Amino acid sequence: MGKINKLYVTILFAISLAACGGKKQVGNGLITIIEDREGPEIKEDDFASITYAEKTEDGRLISGSYDYDYRPTLVFREKPYFKGDFFDALGHLTEGDSAIIKISLDSLRKTGHVKDTISTDKYRIYYVRVNEVVARGDLNDSLFNVNIEALKKREAEKAKSAEGSNIRAYMASRKIKSLQRSPGLDYVIVKDGSGTKPSVGDTVIVNYTARTLTGKIFETTLTDSAKKAGIYRASRKYVPSRVPVLSGTQLSGFGEAAGLFPAGTKAMLIIHSSRAYGGGLYRKLQPYTTVICDLEVQRIIPKKIKS
């Protein structure tokens, strides 16, 4: 997602909070409950589905539930690190509540939860909605885990059902029309290459940057892109990837795309989860995550012909 669209989502989220009804302040006033539902407060070790956005005092978005995908964040309510932290604040909320939480930036610095030593802000501002809670209560570990897995499955199924509409909305927002397809793989040619396309058995040398529909980069072969996205690791070598051109019906969307284009091609790939990581987890990606990939074909190494 571009900056404008991402901001639009968080603005909608903030507006929806403000429109929920009367406000209620808790304790020292750093927690303002916008929508106050009846029910038990979230206790330590309870598991919850929440939607949140973390912002600076001037409204700049830092992080949120929509960093990697359009779905809630699943979190245990841990023991608070200090009075007035995020987990302490969750303990004042119930299922269905919405709230604005102000957390001391100095306290976050002291506990190592933020590295920001420049900002003159006094607080980090969190807009939070509690969607669903799995209460630990008197449940044994086995039954508690069963309930947690059931919640995770429900959220995954929602994401799976919404993937098609999310992809269509993504393409519509960018007015993507010159789209070419194969099942589970959409792609747009950004720059035409020249020469012949690779054949089965060839090896394609590519650079790529992979991100989610929200614009979050999670993998790249480019040093500058990794640093800009905040995922750079000094221990990793950022060099073009070697992709063998294979045949068959079980190829990943990335594997298929690598064999479609001549050298010099630049393309944007929209890889449906069925052709990416499916219902599994990959790094910080949740099940049924669509992958957007900027691909550049550097060169093609022909297969060796046995004499």
pLDDT of residue 117: 65
pLDDT of residue 11: 45
Domains defined along the chain, listed by start: 3-138 (3.10.50.40), 177-301 (3.10.50.40)
pLDDT of residue 15: 44
pTM of the model: 0.80
Residues 268 and 209: their CA atoms lie apart, in Å, by: 10
**Residue type for position 250:** Q
pLDDT of residue 28: 62
CB 293 within 8 A of CB 269: yes
> What is the tens place of the pLDDT at every residue in 145-199?
999 999 999 999 999 999 999 999 999 999 987 677 788 999 999 999 999 999 9
> What is the tens place of the pLDDT at every residue in 269-286?
999 999 999 998 888 899
pLDDT of residue 26: 66
pLDDT of residue 20: 52
pLDDT of residue 100: 94
Residues of the chain with pLDDT under 50: 1-12, 15, 307
